[in-house]
Structure 1
Amino acid sequence: MLPLTPSSFHRILSRVTPVNREELRGLLWSFLCFFTLLASYYVLRPVRDEMGVQTGAQNLPWLFSAVFVSMLVLVPLFGWIAGRLPVRRLIPTVYLFFSSNLFLFFLALISDLPRTTVAPVFFVWVSVFNLFVVSVFWSVMADLYSTESARRLFGFIAAGGSSGAVAGPLFTALMVPFLGVAPLLLVSIGLLLAAMTCFFAVFRTHPRHAREGAGTTILTVEVDERAPPSLWIGLTKILQSRYLLGICLYLACYSVLSTTLYSQQMVLVPQVVGSAEERTQLFAWVDFAVNGLTVLAQIFLTGRLLAGLGVTAMLVLVPAFNVVGFSIFGLAPILAVLVVFGVLRRAGEFAIAKPTRETLFTVVSKEEKYQAKNVIDTVVHRGGDMASSWFSNALQSAGLTIGETAFAAVTIAVIWLANGFYLGRHHGRIRDGHSRDDHHSSAQ
């Protein structure tokens, strides 16, 4: 058998991705970096869900509120800091900071501190951690790769993240019975430090593109030289457009239903699954199934469905599935139904609804996309999580059973479906140039 030389490896890889030979090392390090980064997060995510169980379903609204407030405070602060640090200093600063945080959480989990004290802080921390480390990664990639090379190579790099999102929960599911919950944090630290090492290797392979003295654009949708993203400008743009308001409603319905199902999960799982290790393992298998199905659907289904069915059909597909799924869950409010429905629902969101939702912004102006999308992706999404958690808690406080709450969610799913149909039709009219004035008209 002939050895695999760099030139032969390049010939093999170029059949999958249009990579030039001089880009090969940097591409592979970037792939490995995103792999270890998302593997690090997805090792933690089942632990976060277990911390949610230990905090108690009745306290979930407070957790989501803390996540929302943290995002509002930390996103602009972090963006300000990142804009003033060179990339080579930003990466070790961010990743060593989060690694040290994780080690402190590990010490807290193995100490005599009550889990009810550590659990809520860890839940909020992991939610914030995911946003920042992924944002830093793509910001650095945007700095290192030219526009032309990014178009060719970012899909392959993203596949590294998808692979890590499958490998992370698989490791947790297989190893938590042997390691326990707390040592998983040390595994995540190791993966995070490995990602940092990969970053330095990427820098070494891109000497012409690394900008030593420049800051990096963090947590923005795209760079616009006219004005920085503004919460108030974004809100104004949204309120002036029925189309953007429709997108907000679409995302809000998704958030309400997601949080409702998550709240029911926090009630049912501890009733059926006894130990922390077993619950963490269950959450890990769920994440593994979701991410695995998402990758398969993105490869074999998403593009074909979007091209064959069109935007309108794709926008109503996942809401229609939610109408059916919540109806079945209402009739049979048991953990098995919740797990199967939850896996298929999340995979459908990531593989179908989210890519289709992104196409809705292709027909708006650059300023609207830049300003309004920032607000929609942060305030509307996380604010929707917070508001819906309080709504779900209110339903439970009013005495509604899990089944009755599921049937109440069917109503939201029907609104989501109707809104998806409206958005798809409106998108088509704007795209065809028949509704420019309507798009810019004020909401009634």
Structure 2
Amino acid sequence: MTPLATRLFNVREGEMPLVVAGLALFFLLFAGYFMLRPVRETMGVAGGVENLQWLFTGTFVVTLIALPLFGWLASKVRRRRILPWTYGFLASNLLVFAGLFAWQPDNLWSARAFYIWLSMFNLLSISLAWSVLADLLSNEQAKRLFGLLAGGASLGGLVGPLLGTMLVGVIGHAGLVLLATACLLGSVLAAGYLQGYRDRHPLPADIEMPRSRPLGGNPFAGASEVLRTPYLLGIAVFVVLLASVSTFLYFEQARLVAAHFTSRTEQTQVFGLIDSLVQFLSILTQVFITGHLARKLGVGILLVAVPLLMVVGFLLLAVAPVFVLFVLVMVVRRVGEYALVRPGREMLYTVVLPEQKYKAKNFTDTVVYRGGDALSGWVKRGLDLLGDHPALAMFIGAGIALVWALTGAWLGREQRKRE
């Protein structure tokens, strides 16, 4: 590494293999997911925007069923085997959906099932990848490298929707699902290399709790850990508030796209272009800004900046609810989440026990997140039914974002105490 590269990327001597493998893990995972995300949005619109809250509720129920199965797996197998076994099972599910889309491409129930399944898949698979990184990197390395590694996620998030937009008219939705399956399996290989790197360069924590040993415990340990630990409970509250802000804006996006574009192919292309813009801006922030902010100002700045911007954004939308301003607020929210909030949120787990990094974290990232989605989805739908009062929803969103910022500030202080 040259001195310039070291200053720009915060990478130290001997860490380049770790960085490359981590970038590959996130690039492949996110390229596959974001290739399918526009497909999911199209499937959601196909069932009617007025029914989205039912899909959110279905996702929450499916997540409640899936998490104990993941908890059982995490309790029984070695930590290094949790990711490949989980991703292998998810890849087999994708193959089933590819067959369904090839057989009956316009089946509404297949579309709804895919929407619900992919909404569960993205949280579980992404949360698990971050769990592995939080397990394999020290707290000091996480502050320097999590932003850079998240850049691999955004690069995959940029390439994925671009590929989807270009290829959906050629290979169809079934073909995109098969291509995404190959990306998911490639991320398993990258995670295996990461485990091998840590075997050659062990951390002190690996001596206390070897990764060759199963975590033990019961499948519901994650929920009990969150409920009895104030620090983990604070993270759960932060995630609920994040999900609520995201859902309010998501419903408006779906409504606008459904009103302006009618065919499934056009809707997939529009969602893909929006994702591409968000990911491009996220890459610049993650690679050049996130790591420096975390190292110099701490994790708290990553958790507070975006919520405060959302307070301002919601208030502006309440006063001037125009389409251009809505797109700007949506892009800022998503770029900020990927580039600042997500790396900061994952850094919070570098100071907890291994069982909490996998079980408690995945409980929060899946059940708690989707529960917040479902609840806020019904709240938003209820506000819509009250009549044409968009300003009311925006004022409520501003209040939620303010509480979100205060929670992030508290978590940043608590993380510093645990270092």
Shorter-chain TM-score range: 0.7 to 0.9
Unaligned runs of 5+ in 2: none
2-structure distance, mates of 1:312, 1:351? 14
Higher alpha-carbon deviation: 416-425 or 272-281: 416-425
Give the secondary-structure state (helix, strand or coil) at the position aligned to 1:165.
helix
Alignment-mate amino acid for residue 325 of structure 1:
G
Give per-residue Cα distances to partners, 1:129-175, cap 9 Å, x unaligned. 223333444555677x5759966876665443332222212222333
- TM-score normalised to structure 1 length: 0.72
> Which structure exhibits the higher relative contact order, with contacts defined as CA atoms closer than 8 Å and separated by 6 or more residues?
2
Equivalent in the alignment of 1:52: 44
Instruction: Specify which of 31, 53, 58 is matched with residue 66 of structure 1.
Output: 58
Query: Relative to structure 1, is the Cα distance of residues 156 and 64 closer, same or farther in structure 2, using a 3 angstrom cutoff?
Result: same
Residue of structure 2 in register with 1:268 after alignment: 256
Correspondence for 1:350 among 308, 327, 338: 338
Question: Mean Cα displacement is larger for which, 409-418 or 37-46?
Answer: 409-418
Q: What letter corresponds to residue 344 of structure 1 in structure 2?
A: V
Deviates more, 1:247-256 or 1:9-18: 9-18
Could you tell me which residue of structure 1 aligns to residue 72 of structure 2? Answer: 80
Q: Considering only aligned residues, what root-mean-square deviation do their CA atoms show, in Å?
A: 4.6
Q: How do residues 369-388 of structure 1 correspond to structure 2 at under 5 angstroms?
A: 376-388=364-376
Summarize the Cα distance change of 1:301–1:47 in structure 2 as closer, same or farther, 3 Å threshold.
same
- Residue aligned with 2:310, SS: helix
Name the counterpart of 1:133: 125
Question: Distance between the aligned counterparts of 1:389 and 1:33, measured in 2?
Answer: 32
Q: Which of 41, 50, 62 is the aligned partner of 2:33?
A: 41
Larger Rg belongs to: 1
Equivalent of 1:182 in 156, 165, 174: 174
Query: Deviations for 1:291-326, whole angstroms, at most 9, x for unmatched residues?
Result: 222222233444566688888877664344334433
- TM-score, normalised by the number of residues in structure 2: 0.76
User: In structure 2, what is the Cα distance between the partners aligned to 1:199 and 1:249?
Assistant: 30
- 8 A Cα contact 2:78 2:214, kept in partner: yes
Q: Percent identity?
A: 36
User: Which residue in 2 is equivalent to 1:18?
Assistant: 12
Q: Partner residue of 2:396?
A: 411
| C-alpha deviation, 1:14, in angstroms | 7.4
Q: How far apart, CA to CA, are the structure 2 residues paired with 1:37 and 1:383?
A: 24
Aligned position for 1:255: 243
Partners of 2:236 and 2:181 in 1: how far apart? Answer: 36
CA contact (8 A) 1:229 1:374 kept: no
2:90 is aligned with 1:98: yes
Structure 1 residue 419 displacement after superposition: 6.1
Q: How does 1:184-199 map to 2 (within 5 A)?
A: 184-199=176-191
Aligned length in residues? 407
- Which residue in the other structure is 2:163 paired with? 171
1:283 aligns with 2:255: no
Task: Give, in angstroms, the shift of residue 280 of structure 1.
Answer: 0.9
Amino acid at match of 1:214: S
Contact 1:327-1:407 within 8 A present in 2 as well: no
Return the offset for 1:344.
Answer: 1.3
The letter of the residue matching 2:45 is V
Give the number of the structure whose residues are more often helix, by fraction.
2
Task: Tell me how far 1:51 sits from its aligned partner.
Answer: 1.2
Per-residue Cα deviation, 1:73-111 (whole angstroms, up to 9, x for no partner): 322321222443357865554334322322221222232
User: Match for residue 294 of structure 1?
Assistant: 282
Alpha-carbon separation, structure 2, partners of 1:24 and 1:125: 35
Q: Structure 1 residues 231, 104: CA separation in 2 closer, same or farther (over 3 Å shift)?
A: closer
* TM superposition shift of 1:413: 0.9
Instruction: Give the 3-state SS of the residue equivalent to 1:214 in structure 2.
Output: coil
Q: Indicate how the Cα distance of structure 1 residues 382 and 274 shifts in structure 2: closer, same or farther if over 3 A, else same.
A: same
